[in-house]
Each structure stands twice: as C-alpha cells, then as structure tokens.
Chain A
Amino acid sequence: MRETAAIAVAWGTATLSRRLGRGGQALPGAIVDRIAPELPRKLAAELPHGCILVTGTNGKTTTTKLIVAALRRGGETVVTNASGANLRGGVVSALVSAADLRCRSRATIGVFEVDEASLRLVGAELQPRHIVVLNIFRDQLDRYGEVDTTADLLAEGIAATGARLYLNADDARVASLAGAAAEPGRVSYFGIDQLPAGLTAERTAADSDRCPKCGERLTFGRVFYSHLGHYSCPNGDFARPDPDVAVTGVSRADLDGTEFSVTAGGSVQRMRYGLSGTYNLYNALAAVGLATGLGLDPAVTAEAVRTTEAAFGRVEKTELQGRTLWLLLIKNPAGFAQVLDTFLVGRSHPRVLIAVNDLPADGRDVSWLWDVPLEGLSRGGPEVVTAGTRAAEMALRLHYAGTEASVASSVDDGISRLLAGVPRGGDAYILPTYTAMLQIRKALRRRVHE
C-alpha cells in the first residue's frame, strides 16, 4: 500500500514538476525514499533481465543511448534515465516512472548511466548484472577532489555488486578495476587496436599515466587520446589487457561520421556510425562490447549504432538562416581537446563561439581551460566569440594562446556576433559547457521559430 502510494505521489510530482517547466528528475526519487525506501530495490529485482549500469567520466550519455537502442531493436522493453539525470535520484525516478500501481515494472531490463560517485549507492541497491566503465578523466575536481578518489569510488561501487564488468582496456586505471570484480572471470575488455595515423594523438593531458599497481610511469606504444592507448608498466606490474572486442580498422572518419571494423570473438563486423572523433568511437565500442556480452545479434547492434544520433547537445547540427551550426559540448580538457582536433584544428578561419559557465553543473572551477591545447587553434586563424559567466576568462586563455576573441555580454549576444561573421551556406561551431548548452539550445530554438 505504501509502495503504491509512493508510486502515485512520485508520478504526480513528476507531472507537476514538468508542467511547472522544471526538470522534475530528482524530486520523485526523493519522495519515494520518504514513503517507501525499499521500492527501488524491489523494482530493480523484478526486471526479468536485470540492470546495466554505465559509468566513467566521458561518454556515459551517448553510450547509454546506444545500448538502449540496441536492446530495443532486440525486442526488450527498456527503462532508462535518458535525460542524463545520473545521480541516484534520477535512476530511482526512472524506475518508478516505469512501474505500474501494483509495484511491477513494465520494463524487461534497465539501462542507467550513473555518476562515478553514485555507483556505490546505486550499485548496492540495484545489484546490476552488468557494469560498463568507459574512462577516468579529470572532471569536476571541485566536486570529487581528485582522480585517485574517483577510481577508488568506482572500485568500491563495483565491489558492492556481483556484476560482469566491461572495461576499457586502453585506460590503465579502468582496466585495473578488474581487481574489484567479484569473480575474476566475469570481466571483458574493449579497446582500439588500430587507428589511422591522422587519428592518433600526442599525449595532451596526462590524467592517469602511472601504473595502477606500482605507481611507475607507464610507457606507451600508441596514444589515441589523452592517456588512452597501448601502455605497459616498465616494471612489468601491469599491461594493457588484450581486448575481447576491438576496433581493428577505421576506413572513414570525418565530420559526418566514422566507418570502422570491430573484431569480436573471431568475427569481424563492419560498422557505420554517425558520430565523429575518437572519443565517440570508444562509446560505440563499449556498446558493442556489452551487446556482444549479452549475446545480441551483431547485425541488430550494427543497425542501432548506425541510426543512433549523438546524445543531447554532444554533437548537434542546426540549420539557421541558411547557416549550419554545430553544437559541441565541452566538459573537461580531454573532451575539449578532442572537439578541437575533430572539428576545428586545420580548418581555415573557422567561426567559433565558446560559451563557458561556472554553475555547479558545469563545474565551478574553470582552471581546466588552461590545460586545453588551444595553441593549435591559432594556426587556422579562427574568429572566436566568447560568452557565458566566464567569457572574460576564456578570452584571456585564448589571448595567451595567440587568438583574440570578442567577448559577448550574454549567450544571446554571442550567437548574434557569431552569426554576423558567417556567410550563407557557411558553417560555424558552438562549444558550450553544460548549462551554457541548455541556454544556447533554447536561444537557437527561439531563432529557428522566428
């Protein structure tokens, strides 16, 4: 009875909150906790095919979206926190929204993206059958303290479950999480074996390039981006595990997407993917790795990867006044560097708007902008506008990188200044932090409808 009441009240709150124009993603979960704290555990346990959790610094939302698409094509009814509310409240709200009043779930399987620090709580409660860990980068140190802390939180989260793990073989700290698995056999790895020369990288930010066992500096045979690549410890204490699912070749990579081949269990699958950049390749690979582990039909997975678009604001293309605007979310140095490499560096005179906010959802500390290799941008002679609460800081960073920016007074002013410099038929790029992305989407939508 209490549980039925909790579900009813949570639905009501979610609807009301949406009507009021708020996100309404965390509140229903909080209400459930007050009335029937055991409900989330019960709803998760009832899912016939259990739960899958996706965690890591970069790519959670996109990877979750890919996995959900593959499962839905495979005939599952999926419950997911699609809006990216990845703290416990968001997961609980999603579970409750898929429940009926008899406290049964209408879904057959749950796929949730979970914030690194929430994995412990959510994992213990939901007892997922599968956990995907994508990578560990510096992100929001103002929230977690440091990267080491993040790795420890993930290990604790994993240890609280009996889940099968899908780990990024190319990220040493992630690969070493195998040690936290309940059973050593229940781990599989995904990684990149080969990339064309143009897509391999110099190491830009050494987020974690020390051996997770002995602390010695790792040596790298190949670097794909940041600290991701083929590494080994000079003392022989740790080396990149052979991936079970690997990208073995990339035949095309441009702004419109990527064509690549994946080797899994001895067979090779050719894939087409609408997203660009090595960072997105890892997201597709993680989804394929999980789908392979679940025994999904490879053709179904390939079709899901082909037709899935980028998650909210990650890579969005908008046509406005005869111009093409690319919206590319920036969150941390590694991601920003990838966006630069993929979209901007080498292009002559790209028009760019960089919008940096410092609200809690963006990270209050904007210091990371100084770790982004913006020096490469100046060679293409870009025309840059900065906006957001930290527009001046961004302009200062660009000034030291050799690019003079025009500082807009608001996000809307930033868009106007950007558009003024783009001829009809031309392209422009908008690089916002999270809350700036929300503002920009709103402003663009308004202009499209005008």
Chain B
Amino acid sequence: MRSLRVAHLYPRDLNVYGDLGNVITLAKRLEWRGYRAEVLPVEPGRSFDFGGIDLVFGGGGQNSGQLACASDLLRYRDELCKMSAAGVPMLLICGSYQLFGREFIDLAGRRVPGLGIFRAGTTANRERMIGNIVIDSPFGQLVGFENHSGRTVLEAGQDALGTVRQGFGNNGGTGDEGAVSGNTIGTYLHGPVLPKNPALADHLLRCALRRRYGIDELEPLDDELAVRAARVATDRPQGRKIVLRPRRRRLHRLAAVVRGL
C-alpha cells in the first residue's frame, strides 16, 4: 500500500488542546482514499532522520513545553529550511508557528531564536486573545479557535495565510492571520484546524502525494459534517481578550454578578 511519512514535532510537549485532531484528520483522509499514513514522533533529545519525510506537523505548546522544544528544534534548522524550500508541506500551529519564525521574545524580554522559515517575529504579551476565529484564505474560509498571548508581526514580503473576518489573528491589529511560505503554513487557528477545514487538509495531502508519487487527484470525500461543524463555529464568535491583572478582576466579578442575575 502506498504510504506517506508524517513527522509530528514534539507530540507530547506541543499539544495544548486538540492539536492531535490534525494528525488524526491527515491520517484518516489518507486511509479513506486507500493510502497509509505513518506518523513518526520527533522527541526532544533524540535524533530524528527527516530523510523520506513527506509532511511535517507541529502543534501549539504551553510556554514551558515550547521553550523546552525551541533549542532542540534548532538542531534541525538547515534540514527543515531545505525541506520547506523544496516544497515539503508543513503545518505549524500556534507555538510551533512561532518557532518557525525568526524569534520569540518572552515576557521577561529574553530572545528565543526560531528557524526563520517565516519572515516574522513574535512577542509575548500579558493579554491573551481568545475565541472562535474566521479568516479568508486561498483555501476558502477557514474557521478555528485561537488562544494565544504571543503577537506575531509579519515582515514585508511575508505572505499571510489569510485575512481576519472575525477574531484577532496574528496580533489583533493588522488584520492578517498566519503565514505561508511555499507549502509551509503557520497559523494560530487551533481548534483543531484541519477537521473543520478539509480543503486545507487536502491541500497538504495533495502537495505530499504529488511530490512522492506524482499524484494530483484526490478522491472527493463526504464532508457534510465538517461543513456543519464549521458553520456552527462561525456563528459563535465569542472572541475576547483576557488580562490577568487585578484591576480587571472587578470587571470579572461584575460580569459574574450579571450572569448570576
């Protein structure tokens, strides 16, 4: 059976909420079309051979997990840059999206260098941007859930994944969301992004199958449930910012009182 090899970056450290759903989606959509997916975990401190890898996935992480992986990931900088330039499809969510940019500046002002595949930098912030998000992208309208305190700013010449229709996106100000360099896609849409956005999942699979087997055609699947689930998410924006500062707590209390009414 024809199979694709998927490298899953730091599955135990970079998996905050439902990131695994993306891997499940990639594997199942291959399986339903008669291919096999071989998912290989990249673990910190172990050596990993990226030769023969068809697709790379990385999820979001808590700050502690993200920092633990950052230095490990740098060991593969040259390899991953080459693969990205050669068109190997990659999907990076939240924490790993940040690590694929040039740098991440944490709350204490420390600089954590990234791979530099995206011409973008991220700065940590006390304010978290949380809620259902909808963006317009080359893969159609994408929906997901964002929950990030990092603000990512794209440099001139770096393409975004899409423009924000609802939600915050890269930094809550410029209206762009995510980044695309060739077939390498970074985004803050967790949610997880692929099950509700099958067109994006199939784009990644098509890139990988084209490179490995020269196959361009993907058998269509029944995605009616995905469409319904995405529609529900779109209808429930609920986006908001929270700041963990004493001043705002009075507002929270007030809100609790109002809810109690």
- Chain A residues engaging chain B, CB cutoff 8 angstroms: 17, 22-27, 30, 87-89, 138, 141-143, 145-149, 206, 209-210, 215, 217, 358, 360, 364-371, 389-390, 392-393, 395-397, 399-401, 407
Contacts and interface: CB of A to CB of B under 8 A. Distances in A.
A236 to B, nearest CB: 17
6 contacts: A30-B253, A89-B260, A141-B17, A217-B12, A364-B145, A393-B233
Interface residues of B, number: 46
Interface string B200-232: 000000000000000000000000011011011
Contact of B260 (A23, A390, A392): A23
Contacts of B228: 392, 396, 407
A89 B254 CA distance: 11
Nearest to A121: B249
A358 B236 contact: yes
Contact of A400 (B25, B44, B231): B25
B70 interface: no
A441 B44 CA distance: 47
Contacts of A138: 16-17
Interface string B114-148: 00000000000000101110000000000001010
A84 to B, nearest CB: 14
Given A360-B259, A365-B145, 13 more contacts: A26-B260, A30-B253, A142-B147, A146-B16, A148-B62, A210-B68, A358-B236, A364-B131, A367-B21, A370-B192, A371-B18, A389-B236, A393-B232
B145 A367 contact: yes
Contact of B64 (A206, A210, A366, A371): A210
Interface of B: 12, 15-21, 24-25, 28, 44, 62-65, 68, 128, 130-132, 145, 147, 149, 190-192, 195-196, 225-226, 228-229, 231-233, 236, 238, 242, 244, 253, 256-257, 259-261
Contacts of B261: 17, 22, 27
Contact of A145 (B24, B128, B225, B238): B128
Contacts of B16: 138, 141, 146
Contact of A399 (B19, B44, B225, B244): B225
Contacts of B25: 400
Q: Ordered nearest first, which 9 A-B pairs have the shortest CB separation?
A: A370-B21, A367-B18, A370-B18, A26-B260, A392-B228, A392-B229, A367-B17, A146-B62, A393-B229
Contacts of A370: 18-21, 24, 192, 195
A365 B190 CA distance: 10
A116 to B, nearest CB: 13
A399 B15 CA distance: 21
Contacts of A365: 17, 130, 145, 147, 191
A147 B225 contact: no
A330 to B, nearest CB: 15
Contacts of B145: 142, 364-367
B260 A209 contact: no
Nearest to A153: B244
B236 A368 contact: no
A400 B28 contact: yes
A368 B18 contact: yes
Contacts of B260: 17, 22-27, 30, 89
A148 B20 contact: no
Contacts of A397: 21, 195
Given A392-B229, A393-B229, A209 B12 contact: yes
A145 B62 CA distance: 9
A407 B226 CA distance: 13
Contacts of B62: 146-148
B241 to A, nearest CB: 12
Contacts of B19: 370
Contacts of A25: 260
B176 to A, nearest CB: 22
A389 B232 CA distance: 8
Contact of B17 (A87, A215, A358, A371): A371
A371 B15 CA distance: 9
A338 B11 CA distance: 22
Nearest to B239: A364
